[in-house]
Chains A and B, each alone.
Chain A
Amino acid sequence: MKTNVKISGSQLAGILFLSQVFALLNFTPPGNNEVKPWLVLLGILIGFVVKVLFFVPFYVLLGREKEKNLIDVGYHAFGKGGVIFAILFLVYLVFIAGVTTAQFTSFLNDRLFTGTSQLIICITLVLAALYGAYMGIEAIARTASIAAFLLILSVVFVGVAVIPRVEVLNLKAFLPPSAQELWQYTLPFISMPTDLLLFALLRPQMKGNTKKSVIGSFALTTAVLWVSTFFIYTVLGGLASRVTFPFYTLSTLAEVSIFRRLDSVHMMIWVFVTFIRLSVIQFCIARVLGYMLPFKVRRSYPAIGAALVLALSIWFTSRYGIFYGAYLFQYTPFVMVLFVLLIPAVLLVGQLIRKKGKNEEKN
């Protein structure tokens, strides 16, 4: 696995964008009983602002530390106790990779190729991602740039093609929301901080302006999500909350002149997106394993990580109830509070205490 290569800020932005926009594939708008499209659209915009705020502690911790990731910062602040952060990151990344694999497997199995073996899809996805992880972050980043371009092109095509079907009436009335409603509709867009955590781990692999790259990726994700959600609501209306894969349903309706029935082409792009997301997560898992396993087995880190992901994804695909619970869990505030608020806060405090100690030693 190539670990000493650096990627540019825009390449990092591409990776973060793809890893986050994957949520669109299975995106079901919040609000089961009463659909409030304006609130969902507002929630996406507020989500952007909140995520920028979430980025501040990460920037304070890593903005100037060019050679350290968040776990390094943990080790620096707490010595051997830093392994706790490595364990937490490993658990989260394996969990997210497992859910992603199971989610995409279920999508392929439910919508595109019914009757396919879920086991084979899981194995293929994880193996392909393992190959990506072995190729290193630069190879992933180059592929991500192409995938991001294709995805944006696909969203634009779907958007343009469904314009004749847009019914603004489906947006319903905009009523000033209560604080509770705002929270309820913003939470899904801020609760899964995969992009922030990937940045926290990939920091030493990047060069260039971190602020610009990360906030740029947030902005791009927000724009794609907002536009897609707008079309999902105005075209599908109340049905948006009933269908399992609203964006896929939208793509089945996208026809322009001789370009028809391109849903499978759109979905090929999603395969690409899933591959990137899984590759980068598996790459990060391998890096995290480096803090826990002996150095002499370093070449096996990606394979060990892939085995963990595969085992979890197979378990998820064979137990729908557990998978559904896991899928919902990733959107709970727990993950967000732990990784975006608690861990950075603890590290900041740890850093401050260490600095203070050093200063006292000097004096």
Chain B
Amino acid sequence: MKKRISCLLLCLLLIWSLCGCVKTVQLNERAIVEAIGIDYQNGAYVVTLRLLDPNEPDAEGFLSVSEGETILDAIDHANRKQGREIFYNHNNLLVMGQQAAETGLTYLTGLMDAAGHARPNTSVVLARGKASEVIAVSAKEGLSAKELDTAIENEEKSGAVLKAYLIDVAKRLNDGSGSFLLPTVSANEDSLMLDGAGLVKSGKLAGFLNTDDLRGYLWLAGNLEDAVFTANDEEYGNFTLAIKNSKGEIVPTLQDGKLGFSMKVTVKAHIPILKNGEEIAQDREKQQKLMATAELAIQNELLHTLDLFQKKNADVFRLEERLSQRYPKEQEERRKVEGPTVFQLPTKITVSVHFIGL
């Protein structure tokens, strides 16, 4: 009997905890954050929050702008300005203003560490201009942060832009070189344009890459799918490859005691139709000529991008780390003598384009 009473009392005590250990916040008392924009102006950080109205979830929502000496300070001000409790867990997008990115991005890691302000898989984009404008246009056009995120994902496959998550940014900022690319978005009066990328070096925005430059990077680093690439042949003029997929590979090499790299790009593309409408599906000779032209064009694009990274001394491909992993002793010796930079090491680039049937 005593045992039964003890068990009953224990169960009753446990029921006490079922009411929860945090105060209840009703949905209409919450301000749900869908996107965060971060700008830096006049020595202060300006945070623009795009908030959803829980009473009208389909509406464009409303914006909340606040200022602070640091990002977290600005976010804290936003919390105080709102009559509702700000809920960050559904935040899908983090837009960095150009000036804020030029000031430095290292605090983004802190934003992920700080309780619940941004999840590690939040998309990060860089605004060519102000982040607040991007947030405002997206709200005005009724483009949800999730839709923008999906658009980036789709555009990445076509090579127009690349996707970056907060966790990736935090990882690269934590790496030695701290060089990486972020997708860029620009806001016009009533539209948003995704194009190219921002180059971040040592935690700060160091410049922009246009779409062609970015594709040079994506040939090696990304997996292009369903993208198009136009090349020019002296004999047949412009022709466009419909790329089915492409894969890049960077392998460190050691030949005659010298470190270097072998970079390989393999592209599978549909057989092009020439400008004059001529089909070359049956013409092996023409195919080979166009393949060689496309390979050369891709190689040039790649060399151009490598040259750009070299000028900025931005090790976006983590070349130093690749050497350290594959040839640790030789790499250590190389570092000691401070010889040529990693971009000046002998690099063999191989591009192969394979035409596949219609």
User: Taking beta carbons and an 8 Å cutoff, which residues of A are in contact with B?
Assistant: 110-111, 113-117, 120-121, 123-124, 127-128, 130-131, 134, 169, 171-173, 175, 236-239, 242-244, 249, 252-253, 255, 299
With A123-B17, A124-B17, A134-B7 already in contact, the answer to whether A114 and B325 are too (CB < 8 A) is no
Q: How far is the CA of A299 from the CA of B165 in the complex (A)?
A: 55
Contacts of B165 in A (CB 8 A): 253
Q: A114-B116, A239-B171 are in contact. Are A299 and B2 (CB under 8 A)?
A: yes
**A114 CA to B21 CA, complexed, in Å:** 10
How many B residues are at the interface, by size bracket? 20 to 34
Q: For the complex, what is the distance from the CA of A243 to the CA of B115, rounded to whole Å?
A: 12
* Chain B residues near A172 (CB-CB < 8 A): 321, 324-325
Residue contact B21 to A113, C-beta cutoff 8 Å:
yes
Q: How far is the CB of B176 from chain A (nearest CB, A)?
A: 9
**Measuring CB to CB, which residues of chain B are less than 8 angstroms from any residue of chain A?**
2-3, 6-7, 10-11, 13-14, 17, 21-22, 109, 113, 115-116, 119-121, 165, 167, 170-171, 174-175, 318, 321-322, 324-326, 328
A237 touches B175 (CB 8 A): yes
Picked from B7, B21, B321, the residue with its CB within 8 Å of the CB of A169 is B321
- Nearest to A128 among chain B residues (CB) is B14
Q: Are A252 and B121 touching (Cβ within 8 A)?
A: yes
- The contact of B174 among A123, A130, A239, by CB within 8 Å, is A239
A244–B113 Cα distance when bound, in Å, is 8
Nearest-CB distance from A267 to chain B (Å)? Answer: 14
Contact yes or no, B171 A115, CB < 8 A: no
A243, B170: Cα distance in complex, Å: 10
A110 and B324 contacting across the interface, CB-CB below 8 Å: no
Q: Given A115-B22, A236-B167, A242 and B17 touching (CB < 8 A)?
A: no
In the assembled complex, how far is the CB of residue A307 from the closest CB belonging to chain B, in whole angstroms?
13
CB-CB under 8 A for A171 and B325, given A123-B17, A128-B14, A255-B121: yes
Give the chain A neighbours of B22 by CB distance below 8 A. Answer: 113, 115-116
The SS class assigned to the B binding surface is helix
A175 touches B10 (CB 8 A): no
| A-B CB pair tally, cutoff 8 Å | 73
Residues of A within 8 A of B175 (CB): 237-238
A131/B10 contact (C-beta < 8 A), A110-B115, A169-B318, A173-B326 known: yes
Please name the residue on chain B nearest to A243 by beta carbon. B113
Are B3 and A238 in contact, CB atoms less than 8 angstroms apart? no
* Contact in complex: A237, B318 (CB < 8 Å): no
Docked-complex contact B318 and A114, CB < 8 angstroms: no
The CA of A175 and the CA of B121, in the complex, are separated in Å by 33
B289 to chain A, nearest CB (A): 37
Name 28 A/B residue pairs within 8 A (Cβ), A-sorted. Answer: A110-B115, A114-B115, A121-B21, A124-B14, A127-B17, A128-B14, A131-B10, A131-B11, A134-B10, A169-B325, A172-B321, A172-B324, A172-B325, A173-B325, A173-B328, A175-B328, A236-B167, A237-B171, A237-B174, A237-B175, A238-B171, A239-B167, A239-B170, A239-B171, A242-B174, A249-B167, A253-B121, A299-B6
Determine how close the nearest CB of chain A comes to the CB of B63; give it in whole angstroms.
Answer: 25
Most chain A CB within 10 A, of B7, B109, B121, is at: B121
Contact A249 B120 (CB under 8 A): yes
CA A128 to CA B16, docked complex, whole Å: 12
Complex interface: chain A residues within 8 A of B6 (CB): 134, 299
For the complex, give the distance between the alpha carbons of A120 and B113 in Å.
25
Cα–Cα, bound, A38→B123 (Å): 30
Q: Which 4 A-B pairs have the closest CB atoms?
A: A173-B328, A124-B17, A116-B21, A120-B21
Separation in Å of the B107 CB from the closest CB of chain A? 14
> A127 touches which one: B10, B120, B321 (CB < 8 A)?
B10
B113 contact set on A, CB distance < 8 A:
243-244
A262 CB → nearest B CB, Å: 12
Contact B14 A238 (CB under 8 A): no
